[in-house]
Each structure stands twice: as structure tokens, then as C-alpha cells.
């Protein structure tokens, strides 16, 4: 059925007054636009936490991409571990077509590199393994017997030691390393199951000694430059060096693509600060993180990474296993609902769906659940605490002060914020302070509009700027009014600040509150 669960429905007569009370409070805050204005009551406007959807076989058609966008997708992610350039190109073109057709919504494109994944080899048929059984991994290519299979990585033998725990697919099966020869590793099965072709392998507590960007990844990066994607998500980043290397390459290619580092290897943890400093954002890739490190460390690291990113004004995405059960079931488990609520409360910019939308049976429902849970959770958050590093995150003291105080002002007055930006800087800065109203970011760069789709609370809108600031303001307000994002008589805060003033004559910073 086509039930899209984007509406919060009243549940019982008793529950209604409660809801009305909440709605009243929300209306007071003018957080939501009037939902009766049909064409603009799209989820992107009201929900602040963004949704990244991985596009795959379940969703790579025109119809599904449109539907996903309507269900709440803000960023489309291509996973380069699967598919080929032709299939990814098709998706990129579809997303661009969507963006060109749709005035009131923009989808950013993220390309996720494969990275140095260690995988087992191809098997003609799955092997059943029982606990206690002996099993061998070999670096010799093309081996597939019931007791031995190849591994795609030559240094595998050097990286593991007897006593190491080897995990398949993040712990679905596990092996204890017993002994090794120069080309094979003998193991004992600890958790059995069905070993299928090309499974992902991890060694508990260790990262493979491989470069973060492989030759295939460089090919994929070139592909991304050619197709002008908005973000790279770089797998298995272990230090800042690789980020610098990639950024330098992008600069030389004249590509304006932001780099999101995936925090997923044990080795990255000691270098967290420098890695995040070098990048434009981070992704908490909990799958491998929980395989290389004890699984109970993951929630603590998640909070730490979110806090670190937020203190530095970088985007942060929480990923992996968010609605895993929805790959096969139409309803999430209670734990999964709780998990999304946690990520939203911790202040992540975005939450991500992987297999749920790529090859799951209920991609639209999964996106719908994320939308509803995020919306509901945001309504329970009280904002407005002064960050401890006020004025230091962006090394641009004046703009930061203006962003912070504009946030405070819009919070106390209960208004949305309007900002004009050519580089996206001021919009990101405002997002950093998490105002309770929506940030309407007007930009005259399509590229920037698309990029801003990832940031919490930002609703990016494309508009030509005129030479006259006052005229541009008027145009912007007219657009907002026309789209039903603000109502007549509503007050909004307009922020003018940033490193390069858009209108030379008005090089001062200012915040103003206007009645529409």
C-alpha cells in the first residue's frame, strides 16, 4: 500500500488535547509553516535533520528517486562498492533532472568510495560453517573449497596474528586465528553460519595496512569530478594526510567538491581531531567501527565525533544499521526508532540509510520513518545554549558573533532566519548554532544550493541576486511567501554578514527583523 507515514496522526480522544497543546507551542515558535498550503508542506521545509539515502537496485529508477525525494531524501548517496560507472551516471543524471524540475527541493549528490575493503573470494555456493570447525583463508587467488577460501589482500597474512578475532560482515560470523603460514591463515570457527561470496572481513582491534584511497577509488574520484558531485565520502581514513592529498587533487582539477571523512577504522580514533580539521565533515560509519573496536565503544564514539564536528562547525552524518530490520520488514524495531531519536538529539546534521533504500523491500517507508521520528524528536528538543567555543570555531569572529546572535534573536522572537550567501559560509555558520526556526539560505549558485542540502536546519533556495540589496530582499520574501514558507504578517530575521559582502555598498554586518 502507498501509506506514507509523514503525518503524525491523533491517536485517541485523550491524546488530542495533548497534541493541540504541542501544536500550539510549535505554532508559537512558528517553526512549521501552515500545512494547509499544499504545495509547500514538503518534509524538507519542516524537518531539520537531513536524510541521506543510498540509491541502489531498489531505488535507481526515475519514479523511485522522485518518490524518495518526496518521502524526505536530502542527499543521494552512491556506494562505489557496488554497481558500475554507467549505473551511477544514470542516477546522478536523474537527481540532476529532479533538481532542475523542482523549485522547492534540492538533492545533493554524495559519492562514497569503496576504500581498501578486505573481502573473501567468490564461492560457487555458500559454505555452511559450524562452531569449532577448522577453516583457512589464503592469499592465493581463486581458491574456493569447503575448508578454504581466498582473500583479496596480499598483506592479510602479515596483518593478523594467532589469537586475533576475524569478523565476517561486522560480526555475523567470527573466526579465531590459530596459526599462519606464508600464504594462509588457519582459523577455528567461533560463530558459524553461511559463508557467501565476497564477504567483508575485519580483524578485531586492527586496521588493514592499506592506503585509504586505492587505484579504483582514484578512478571513481575522477568520475565524480567529471559528473560534478557535491560530496565525497572517503572510506577508512586513518590520518589527515590522505584528506590533504585528495583536497590538493581536487584543487588542481578545479573541482569544488567537499570531502566527508568516514570514521570507521580503529587507527582513525587517535587522529580524530586532525582528520576532522582537514575535512569538511565526518560520517560515523558504525559498521566497521563496531567491528574493529569493541561494539560498546560505538555509542560513545558517536557522541564524541558529533560533538567534535559541531565544535568545529563541520557537518556530521550518523550511518549504518539505522533501520536494518526495514530491509525486510515494513516496521522498524523499537531500538531502531530510539537510535534515530538519539542521533537527532545529539545534533547530527544528517542520518543515513544504506541497504534500507539501496536494496531493501521498503525504501520509501524507511525514509518515511526517519522523517517522522526526526520531526517528532526535534519538537521535543529545547535549544539555545551558548556553545563554549563561541567565536572560535570558524576563525571569523565577527561573522560568528552575528550568526550566534541572529540565532538567539530568532529563537526568542520565534522567527525563521533568512540569509544570502554566495559561498554557503554564512548558512553553514547559522546551522552550526542550530536555531529553532528554519534557515532559508538564498544563493545565486546552484552548486551551493545543492551542497547546503546536507546541513541541519538549512532550506537552500536558488535565486538571482540583483545589484540592489533591498530589491533582492523583497524578491526573497516574495518567493518565501509564494511558496507558502512564511505567512503574511509573520516576522523573519534577515542576516547579512560573512567574509565577502554581497553588496559592496553595504559592507557592514547587520541583523534585521522584518514583517512580511
Partner 1 sequence: ATAVTTDTSGIEVDTVTEAELKENGFRSTRRTKLICTIGPATCGFEQLEALAVGGMNVARLNMCHGTRDWHRGVIRSVRRLNEEKGFAVAIMMDTEGSEIHMGDLGGEASAKAEDGEVWTFTVRAFDSSRPERTISVSYDGFAEDVRVGDELLVDGGMVRFEVIEKIGPDVKCLCTDPGLLLPRANLTFWRDGSLVRERNAMLPTISSKDWLDIDFGIAEGVDFIAVSFVKSAEVINHLKSYLAARSRGGEIGVIAKIESIDSLTNLEEIILASDGAMVARGDLGAQIPLEQVPAAQQRIVQVCRALNKPVIVASQLLESMIEYPTPTRAEVADVSEAVRQRSDALMLSGESAMGQFPDKALTVLRTVSLRIERWWREEKRHESVPLQAIGSSFSDKISEEICNSAAKMANNLGVDAVFVYTTSGHMASLVSRCRPDCPIFAFTTTTSVRRRLNLQWGLIPFRLSFSDDMESNLNKTFSLLKSRGMIKSGDLVIAVSDMLQSIQVMNVP
Q: Which residues are catalytic?
A: 77, 119, 262, 320
Question: What is the total count of residues that contact partner 1 (CB under 8 A)?
Answer: 56
- Nearer Cβ to partner 1 (310/451): 310
| Segment near partner 1 (CB under 8 A); pick from 27-35, 259-267, 375-383, 471-479 | 375-383
| Segment near partner 1 (CB under 8 A); pick from 224-232, 255-263, 292-300, 485-493 | 292-300
Residue 8 in contact with partner 1, rule: CB under 8 A: yes
Candidate list 117, 217, 220, 336; residue touching partner 1; CB under 8 A: 336
Q: Strand pairing partners for 455?
A: none
What distance lies between CA 459 and its chain's CA centroid? 16
Q: What's 137-188 look like in SS3?
A: EECCCCCEECCEEEECCCCHHHHCCCCCEEEECCCCEEEEEEEECCCEEEEE
- Rounded to the nearest whole angstrom, what is the least distance from the CB of residue 256 to partner 1 in the complex? 32
**Contact pattern for partner 1 over residues 156 through 185, marking x by CB under 8 A:** -----------x--xxxxx-----------
| Segment near partner 1 (CB under 8 A); pick from 229-237, 286-294, 387-395, 507-515 | 286-294
Candidate list 145, 380, 389, 500; residue touching partner 1; CB under 8 A: 380
- Rounded to the nearest whole angstrom, what is the least distance from the CB of residue 322 to partner 1 in the complex? 6
- Nearer Cβ to partner 1 (1/505): 1
Give one DSSP letter per residue of 210-268, joined into a string: S-SS-HHHHHHHHHHHHTT-SEEEETT--SHHHHHHHHHHHHHTT---EEEEEE-SGGG
Confirm if 262 and 231 have CB atoms less than 8 A apart: no
Strand, helix or coil at 37?
coil
**Contact pattern for partner 1 over residues 10 through 29, marking x by CB under 8 A:** xxx-xx--------------
C-beta atoms surrounding 20 within 10 Å: 11
In the block, cell 494547509 appears at 36
Candidate list 79, 372, 450, 496; residue touching partner 1; CB under 8 A: 372
Candidate list 149, 298, 367, 480; residue touching partner 1; CB under 8 A: 298
Torsions phi, psi for 174 (to 5 deg): -145, 155
Q: Which of residues 188-217 bind partner 1 (CB under 8 A)?
A: 191, 193
Confirm if 24 and 476 have CB atoms less than 8 A apart: no
- Nearer Cβ to partner 1 (301/429): 301
Q: Give the integer Cα–Cα distance in Å for 335 and 322.
A: 9
Degrees (nearest 5) of the Cα angle 286, 287, 292? Answer: 95
Confirm if 361 and 328 have CB atoms less than 8 A apart: yes
- Rounded to the nearest whole angstrom, what is the least distance from the CB of residue 274 to partner 1 in the complex? 23
| Segment near partner 1 (CB under 8 A); pick from 86-94, 121-129, 370-378, 473-481 | 370-378
C-beta atoms surrounding 484 within 10 Å: 19
Candidate list 9, 86, 100, 386; residue touching partner 1; CB under 8 A: 9
Candidate list 102, 331, 444, 475; residue touching partner 1; CB under 8 A: 331
Candidate list 179, 307, 333, 510; residue touching partner 1; CB under 8 A: 333
Q: Which of residues 311-330 bind partner 1 (CB under 8 A)?
A: 320-325, 329-330
Q: Give the integer Cα–Cα distance in Å for 82 and 304.
A: 30
- Rounded to the nearest whole angstrom, what is the least distance from the CB of residue 321 to partner 1 in the complex? 4
- Nearer Cβ to partner 1 (57/330): 330
464: closest CA among 449, 493, 439, 442? Answer: 442
Helix axes 363-379, 62-71, angle to 10 degrees: 20
Q: Give the integer Cα–Cα distance in Å for 215 and 221.
A: 10
| Segment near partner 1 (CB under 8 A); pick from 82-90, 308-316, 372-380, 422-430 | 372-380
Q: Which residues bind partner 1 (CB under 8 A)?
A: 1, 3, 8-12, 14-15, 167, 170-174, 191, 193, 286-287, 290, 294-300, 302, 320-325, 329-343, 369, 372-373, 375-377, 380
Amino acid at each position: 500500500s502507498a501509506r506514507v507515514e509523514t503525518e503524525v496522526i491523533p491517536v485517541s480522544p485523550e491524546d488530542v488535547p495533548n497534541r493541540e497543546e504541542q501544536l500550539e507551542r510549535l505554532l508559537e515558535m512558528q517553526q512549521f509553516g501552515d500545512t494547509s498550503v499544499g504545495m509547500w508542506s514538503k518534509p524538507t521545509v519542516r524537518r531539520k535533520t537531513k536524510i541521506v539515502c543510498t540509491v541502489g537496485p531498489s531505488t535507481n529508477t526515475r519514479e523511485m528517486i522522485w518518490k524518495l525525494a518526496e518521502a524526505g531524501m536530502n542527499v543521494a548517496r552512491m556506494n562505489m562498492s557496488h554497481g558500475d560507472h554507467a549505473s551511477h551516471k544514470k542516477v546522478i543524471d536523474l537527481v540532476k533532472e529532479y533538481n532542475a524540475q523542482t523549485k522547492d527541493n534540492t538533492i545533493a549528490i554524495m559519492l562514497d568510495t569503496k576504500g581498501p575493503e578486505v573481502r573473501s573470494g567468490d564461492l560457487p555456493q555458500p559454505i555452511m560453517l559450524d562452531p569449532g570447525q577448522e577453516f583457512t583463508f589464503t592469499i592465493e587467488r581463486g581458491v574456493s573449497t569447503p575448508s578454504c577460501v581466498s582473500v583479496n589482500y596480499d598483506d592479510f597474512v602479515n596483518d593478523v596474528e594467532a589469537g586475533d578475532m576475524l569478523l565476517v560482515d561486522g560480526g555475523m560470523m567470527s573466526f579465531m586465528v590459530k596459526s599462519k603460514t606464508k600464504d594462509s591463515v588457519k582459523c577455528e570457527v567461533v560463530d558459524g553460519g553461511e559463508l557467501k561470496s565476497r564477504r567483508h572481513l575485519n580483524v578485531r582491534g586492527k586496521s588493514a595496512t592499506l592506503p585509504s584511497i586505492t587505484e579504483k577509488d582514484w578512478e571513481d574520484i575522477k568520475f565524480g569530478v567529471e559528473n560534478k558531485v557535491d560530496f565525497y565520502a572517503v572510506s577508512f581514513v586513518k590520518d589527515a594526510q590522505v584528506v590533504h592529498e585528495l583536497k590538493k587533487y581536487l584543487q588542481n582539477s578545479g573541482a569544488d567538491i567537499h570531502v566527508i571523512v568516514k570514521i570507521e577504522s580503529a587507527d582513525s580514533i587517535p587522529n580524530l581531531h586532525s582528520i576532522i580539521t582537514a575535512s569538511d565533515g565526518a560520517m560515523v560509519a558504525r559498521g566497521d567501527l563496531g567491528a574493529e573496536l569493541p561494539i560498546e565503544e560505538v555509542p560513545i564514539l558517536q557522541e564524541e565525533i558529533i560533538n567534535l564536528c559541531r565544535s568545529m562547525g563541520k557537518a556530521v552524518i550518523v550511518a549504518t544499521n539505522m533501520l536494518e530490520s526495514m530491509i525486510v520488514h515494513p516496521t522498524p524495531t523499537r531500538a531502531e526508532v530510539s537510535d534515530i531519536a538519539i542521533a537527532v538529539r545529539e545534533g547530527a546534521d544528517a542520518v543515513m540509510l544504506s541497504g534500507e533504500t539501496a536494496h531493501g523491500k521498503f525504501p520509501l517507508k524507511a525514509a518515511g520513518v526517519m522523517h517522522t521520528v526526526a520531526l517528532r524528536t526535534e519538537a521535543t528538543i529545547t535549544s539555545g545554549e551558548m556553545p563554549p567555543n563561541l567565536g572560535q570555531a570558524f576563525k571569523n569572529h565577527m561573522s560568528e558573533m552575528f550568526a550566534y546572535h541572529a540565532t538567539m534573536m530568532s529563537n526568542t522572537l520565534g522567527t525563521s532566519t533568512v540569509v544570502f550567501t554566495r559561498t554557503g559560509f554564512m548558512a553553514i555558520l547559522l546551522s552550526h548554532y542550530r536555531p529553532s526556526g528554519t534557515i532559508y539560505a538564498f544563493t545565486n549558485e546552484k552548486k551551493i544550493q545543492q551542497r547546503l542540502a546536507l546541513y541541519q536546519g538549512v532550506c537552500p533556495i536558488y535565486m538571482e541576486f540583483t545589484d540592489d540589496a533591498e530589491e533582492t530582499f523583497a524578491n526573497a520574501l516574495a518567493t518565501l511567501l509564494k511558496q507558502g514558507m512564511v505567512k503574511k504578517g509573520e516576522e523573519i530575521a534577515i542576516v547579512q554578514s560573512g567574509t565577502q559582502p554581497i553588496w559592496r555598498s553595504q559592507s557592514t554586518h547587520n541583523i534585521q527583523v522584518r514583517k512580511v
